[in-house]
Chain A
Amino acid sequence: MSKQTPANKDHTENDGDNIEVWEDIVSPKDLLISIAICTITTLGGYLIAPNDPSKELMFGLIGVVIGFLICSLIIKPKRTISYIDDEEK
């Protein structure tokens, strides 16, 4: 994996490099980064938790939320939204 920052705007706007996964368009690079981040935060949370079954999952869940927030901040959605104005009928 290259070390360039995933949020690099030029990257997502310049090349038509994205593919469809699960009905939406993603960049393979960003997808790998997101999976890496979420796996690390989730499994990491699970592993650093005190040795108690329900706490382990709670920490894991907190890890998921943290991973999700990080990914949402650094990855730009590959969707272009345009608006169509309706004429009053």
Chain B
Amino acid sequence: MDITLILEMIAASMFGAVLYTIIGIAPGTDETAVLAPVTLVLVLTGMEPIVILAFFISAIVAKKLTDSIPVAIAGIPGGVMSAPMVEHAMVLKKYGLPDVSIRKMASGSVIGTIISVPLSLMLANLLIPVGGIIAEYSNQIFFGGAVFLALMTKNRWLALLSIIPFALLIQGLRHLYWGIDAVPEDFTVFTSFFLGITLGPIILRLFELMNKEIRNSLPRQKSNNIALRRQKKLKGFPNPFKLLDKKEVGSSAAGSVLGVGTFFMSPVGMTIFLGEVLTSRIKDPIKKASRAISSMDGVTNSAYIAGTLIPLIAIGLPLSPTAIGPGIALFEAPPVFTEDHNLHHILSMSDFVVATVIGAVIAISLTFFVTIKYSQQICTFVFKYIPHEALLGVFFGLVIMLAYRDAGLINIGGVLLVGLVAGVLHRWGVNYGVQFMVLYSAPWIVMQLL
């Protein structure tokens, strides 16, 4: 491996860490919606695959480190994954310990990363022999996954019934594009439909804003009131193992190991579940809360890293919630990456190790240090100067551009249509997981209906 490639990986990792430190803090940013479009664009620009992987690993580590900052300081989740931690962080906030919260969460994250990187690489290696068999039945697995996830939702019959119509919508648009020569016969529109699903809830809301009755009935607010607590300064370079007590290190580590083993399950679900299991016996509220947040952050981090690396290395298909969500661009980003030609096929085991280690080390050393030392300042800056509208505008702009790139002007309408339907389904409780699985298995589902 030559020096320029390593330097490129370092540069990309630094870019990822800085960008997702800021995005991580912005309230409510969904992991898939913020990670997938940017990674997709980088893939499509033709960046070296190994550099993309380093960028992605650094981005998820940085995002997971920083999305707990607004939880601790303001009780607002910085992302979907940090939502389960709000309850426990609020306990610490109540006792006036938000700085403790941040340190415990960030340290849990670091432990999760340190444990999950080698463990995921090992588990992936063990799974390589069966990877080929799994890949052969991918359509059935994705369809089965959609059915399974649909049955797990609150409105299970609604979710189940939506699978076929949604598959028809996707295939219908693809065949229309082929029929009118909007795209060549051998090109399947995927990326922009994926993004349409991701931004579905926002697209739906935008359409609603144009409806006077709905607009007038929406709850109005003047501003989002956020109370920040001033923190005490910490001296010296932070050490995650000193910021946690022995038991917290133990349960974060245990949580991380379980997070790797359950890479194919929903990370949010596992975080809630393991967080409860690991702390249910502790009585003292402060101890319980700090134990919970440190181990939960360990779980989310390791579930994310394992969910990305294991399917990438062992299978080559996005068979985990992380892979099919935020990490989708590493698997499927036509014309650069396809099912038969993606990171799984391009990179060797040592490439995976090098890229992952560079990404993780850079994100931890930059973001962990900054998180612990300057969380208050960063939070204030983001809350004060970065308008939420600008973030929404950026992702909308990216989606429109990628829609145009995929199949021209007509596809902007197509993506809005997909987004509109996906947004309604999402509001009815048909979650992203079901929709992504359907997007993947749509060609197969439709063929079964003939």
Is B one of A's binding partners? yes
A53-87 toward B: CB 8 Å interface, digit per residue (1/0)?
A: 11011101101100110011001111111111111
The reply to whether B400 and A81 form a contact with Cβ atoms under 8 Å apart is no
B158-166, B303-311, B386-394, B440-448: which lies at the interface: B386-394
Contact partners of A18 in chain B: CB under 8 A: 220-223
> In the docked arrangement, what's the CA distance between A26 and B229, Å?
24
A86 close to B229 (CB less than 8 A) = yes
Across the interface, do B221 and A22 meet the contact criterion of CB distance under 8 Å? Answer: no
Closest to B395 in A: A38
Q: Chain B nearest CB: distance from A83 CB in Å?
A: 5
Residues from chain A with Cβ under 8 Å of B223 in the complex: 18, 25, 78-80
B227 close to A (CB within 8 Å): yes
Q: In whole angstroms, what is the CA distance A53 to B387 when docked? A: 31
Among B96, B222, B384, B392, the residue within 8 A (CB) of A89 is: B96
User: CB distance B224 to A80 under 8 Å?
Assistant: yes
List B residues 195-211 near A (Cβ within 8 Å). 201-202, 205-206, 209
**Which residues of A are found within 8 Å of B228, using beta-carbon distances?**
81-84
Specify which chain A residues have a CB less than 8 angstroms from the CB of B96 in the assembled complex. Answer: 86-87, 89
Asked if B398 is at the interface (CB within 8 A of a chain A CB), the reply is yes
Given A21-B392, A77-B386, check contact A28 B209 (CB 8 Å): yes
Question: How near does chain B come to A86, taking the closest CB pair, in angstroms?
Answer: 5
Most chain B CB atoms below 10 A, which of A20, A23, A72: A23
Query: Taking each of B229, B231, B380, B391, which has the highest tally of chain A beta carbons within 10 Å of its own beta carbon?
Result: B391
Instruction: Identify which of B40-48, B149-157, B276-284, B358-366 touches chain A.
Output: B40-48
CB-based A-B contact count at 8 angstroms = 183
Q: Given the complex of chains A and B, what is the CA–CA distance between A26 and B77 in angstroms?
A: 17
Q: Which residues of B contact A10 (CB under 8 A)?
A: none
A76 to B393, CA, bound (A): 14
Rounded to whole angstroms, the CA-CA distance of A68 and B386 in the bound complex is 9
Interface string of A1-33 (1 = CB under 8 A from B): 000000000000101111111111111101111
B227: which A residues are within 8 A, CB to CB?
A: 81-84
Does B234 interact with chain A (Cβ within 8 Å)? no
Residues of B within 8 A of A76 (CB): 387
Q: Of the candidates B44, B215, B398, B405, which one forms a contact with A64 in the assembled complex, judged by CB atoms under 8 Å apart? A: B398
The residue from B29, B45, B46, B224 contacting A25, defined by CB atoms under 8 A apart: B224
Closest chain B residue to A31 by CB distance?
A: B389
Within 8 A of A (CB), among B212-254: 215, 218-232
Whether A35 touches B393, Cβ cut-off 8 Å, given contacts A22-B388, A43-B404, A78-B387, is yes
CB distance from A75 to the nearest CB of B (A): 4
Kindly supply a per-residue 1/0 record for chain B positions 377-388, scoring 1 wherever the CB is within 8 Å of any chain A CB and 0 otherwise.
000100111111
- CB of B401 closer than 8 Å to a CB of A: yes
Complex contact B393–A37 (CB within 8 A):
yes
Contact partners of A41 in chain B: CB under 8 A: 397
Q: Is B76 an interface residue (CB 8 A)?
A: yes
A88 surroundings in chain B (CB, below 8 A): 232
CB of B145 closer than 8 Å to a CB of A: no
Provided the pairs A19-B220, A24-B27, A87-B96 are in contact, do residues A57 and B390 lie with their beta carbons within 8 angstroms?
A: no
How far, in whole Å, are A5 and B200 apart by their CA atoms in the complex? Answer: 29
Query: Once the chains are docked, how many angstroms separate the CA of A41 from the CA of B394?
Result: 10
Quote the shortest CB–CB distance from A14 to chain B (angstroms).
Answer: 9
B28 with A22: CB separation less than 8 A: yes
Query: Do residues A25 and B388 form an inter-chain contact, with CB atoms below 8 A?
Result: yes
Minimum CB–CB distance for B203 against chain A, Å: 10
- Least CB distance, A45 to chain B, in whole angstroms: 8
A66 to chain B, nearest CB (A): 10
Q: List 15 A-B contacts (CB under 8 A).
A: A16-B221, A21-B205, A24-B27, A24-B388, A30-B387, A31-B393, A35-B206, A38-B390, A38-B397, A53-B44, A63-B401, A64-B394, A77-B385, A79-B226, A81-B383
